[in-house]
């Protein structure tokens, strides 16, 4: 499938070869009998090697044998390589555990213009079709030009490759187990849901090769409106929890970046130390 993404505001066909946001996991059993989680969810992931921005993208949904008749719009998001993005969808009456989503889908739109009062997509637990699209044009299949990724699971009548992914259930999601070969049957498997948001798996400085432990962000709890760094750091980017870049800089050792204009909350700081990428979560008070 041809996949072209907006990369930091630029369209780059060449870069799309190593820059790719895909559907990583789909769970439609949320809130059903025997479910742990209260909500359905869709998890995206950047499986490429460069940061990627999606703007005006949509999630479109269809029943296993149905047409894509509803969707919701995503906010503008930027994901770093390996970073995930958790979308909370429809809720059920059961389940015991809340999600920690990056985005809660509240407004569902029907393509035919009829009202839709659902809060989040009501994804079928076992069988269905989910597409990540570059705009709100209604898709009819996995090879449409605005389709960025497509997953048909269970008895779905459309899918990437030779066959659909395995069926989900109230206790199983359908999750990516490899890269993206455009074959749902081999790229996905059913298993215990593992919802992860954009802060999951954030690298600590001690995990980065050649980066001295504790030498990146010195004050991960920011009270003075200054983020202080313990090393020369290039290409600093501050991301909010929607994956949007809200600050950029470069600093010398023990230098600081003023973030007085940023609202209180959690942020992800990325940069380069000793030619190695580093990433850290901070909390601004």
Q: Are residues 168 and 232 in the same domain?
A: no
Q: Taking 60 as the threshold, does the pLDDT of residue 189 lie above it?
A: yes
Query: What is the phi/psi pair of residue 232, to 5°?
Result: -65, 125
CA dihedral 179, 131, 279, 220 (to 10 degrees): -150
| Cβ–Cβ under 8 Å, residues 132 and 147 | yes
Q: What percent of the chain has pLDDT over 70?
A: 85
Residue 268's pLDDT band (cuts 50, 70, 90):
confident
Q: Are residues 211 and 256 in the same domain?
A: yes
- Confidence at residue 200, expressed as pLDDT on a 0 to 100 scale: 74
pLDDT greater at residue 128 or residue 211: 128
pLDDT in tens, 118-137: 999 999 999 999 999 999 99
Structural domain containing residue 65: 6-191
- Confidence at residue 2, expressed as pLDDT on a 0 to 100 scale: 40
Strand partners, 192: none
Angle at 179 between CA 138 and CA 102, to 5 degrees: 60
Which segment of 2-16, 71-85, 99-113 scores lowest on mean pLDDT? 2-16
Domain count, the chain: 2
Q: CA-to-CA distance for 193 and 143, rounded, in angstroms? A: 28
- Confidence at residue 231, expressed as pLDDT on a 0 to 100 scale: 80
Give the C-alpha distances (Å, rounded to integers) separating 97 from 93, 104, 234: 12, 15, 40
Please give the model's pTM, rounded to 2 decimal places. 0.68
- Confidence at residue 282, expressed as pLDDT on a 0 to 100 scale: 81
Q: Are residues 78 and 130 in the same domain?
A: yes
CATH number at residue 252: 2.60.40.3080
Which segment of 198-212, 225-239, 263-277 scores lowest on mean pLDDT? 198-212
Q: Are residues 42 and 149 in the same domain?
A: yes
Q: CA-to-CA distance for 117 and 241, rounded, in angstroms? A: 27
Q: Are residues 45 and 123 in the same domain?
A: yes
């Amino acid at each position: 499938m041809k996949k072209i993404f907006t990369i930091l505001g630029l369209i780059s066909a060449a870069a799309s070869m190593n820059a790719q946001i895909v559907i990583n996991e789909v769970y439609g059993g949320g809130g059903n009998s025997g479910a742990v989680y209260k909500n359905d969810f869709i998890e995206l992931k950047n499986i490429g090697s460069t940061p990627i921005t999606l703007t005006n993208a949509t999630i479109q949904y269809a029943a296993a044998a149905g047409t894509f008749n509803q969707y919701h719009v995503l906010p503008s998001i930027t994901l770093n390589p390996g970073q995930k993005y958790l979308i909370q969808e429809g809720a059920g009456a059961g389940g015991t555990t809340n999600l920690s989503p990056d985005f809660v889908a509240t407004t569902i739109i029907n393509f035919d213009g009829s009202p839709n009062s659902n809060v989040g997509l009501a994804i079928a637990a076992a069988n269905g079709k989910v597409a990540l699209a570059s705009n709100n044009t209604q898709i009819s299949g996995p090879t449409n030009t605005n389709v960025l990724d497509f997953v048909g699971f269970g008895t779905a009548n459309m899918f990437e490759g030779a066959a659909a992914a395995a069926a989900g259930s109230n206790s199983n999601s359908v999750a990516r187990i490899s890269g993206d070969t455009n074959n749902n049957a081999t790229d996905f498997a059913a298993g215990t849901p593992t919802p992860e948001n954009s802060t999951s798996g954030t690298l600590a400085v001690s995990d980065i090769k050649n980066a001295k432990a504790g030498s990146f962000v010195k004050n991960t709890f920011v009270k003075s409106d200054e983020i202080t760094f313990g090393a020369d750091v290039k290409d600093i980017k501050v991301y909010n929890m929607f994956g949007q870049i809200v600050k950029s800089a470069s600093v010398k050792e023990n230098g600081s970046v003023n973030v007085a204009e940023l609202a209180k909350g959690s942020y992800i700081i990325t940069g380069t130390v000793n030619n190695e990428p580093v990433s850290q979560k901070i909390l601004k008070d």
